Amino acid sequence: MMRKILFGLLILVASCALSFADTGTLKPYQKGDWHGLIKAAGQPVVVHFWGVTCTPCAKEMPLWGKFLSQDKDAKVIFIQVDEVPLGAIKKMLSQANLDAATNFYLNTSFDDYLRYEIDPQWRGETPMTLLIDKSGKVVRKTGPINFIELKKWFAKGV
């Protein structure tokens, strides 16, 4: 009888751990992932770095959700860089209607090596957006993005 109770508790604990470990559409991002991430794009891609604790990011994320709902072919990757609980990230993405977008979160510290791997000139400020054309040319935009200009950039099919 005691074995059945212990076994039942073990199953309950394991299932709870699995449900809390679920990151939904969030994928972990760490050092060394950058080149594989952008190489896999094969088309113009925008990579947007944001943070839950970044006030301009919080204001801008719903605009990203609106942009992607209107331009479903736009390839945009979101990378959350704050060291915050996954629940906070999920909540902000959900409120911005970005649950189904390509979302990553840092599962390591946001250190100099990681920033340098992405852009040697980047000091870690957010929001920061990289526009990467088909040839691999990168344009960095710091601060909130101009969505009219972004739509034009995607329309060029650079």
Beta strands in 88-133 (DSSP E): 102-106, 128-132
Answer whether residue 42 is part of any domain: yes
pLDDT score recorded for residue 101 = 95
Lookup result for tokens 């891609």: 45
3-class secondary-structure state, position 89: helix
- CA–CA distance, 53 with 47 (Å, rounded to integer): 19
pLDDT score recorded for residue 116 = 86
Answer whether residue 19 is part of any domain: no
pLDDT score recorded for residue 136 = 84
Beta strands in 32-156 (DSSP E): 45-50, 76-80, 102-106, 128-132, 138-142
Neighbours of 66 (CB within 10 A): 13
Answer whether residue 7 is part of any domain: no
pLDDT score recorded for residue 43 = 85
Q: Which helix (H) or strand (E) holds 28?
A: strand 26-29
Domain holding 107, by residue range, is 24-156
Answer whether residue 41 is part of any domain: yes
Answer whether residue 18 is part of any domain: no
- Among residues 144, 140, 142, which one has the least CA distance to residue 60? 144
What's the CATH number where 151 sits?
A: 3.40.30.10
Answer whether residue 16 is part of any domain: no
Number of independent structural domains in the chain: 1
Backbone phi and psi for residue 143, each to the nearest 5 degrees, phi listed first? 95, 180
Q: Please, what is the end-to-end C-alpha distance for the chain in angstroms?
A: 68
19: amino acid identity, one letter: S
Give the pLDDT means over successive 10-residue stretches in the chain (158 positions). Answer: 35 32 69 78 88 96 97 94 94 96 87 84 92 90 96 87
pTM value is 0.81
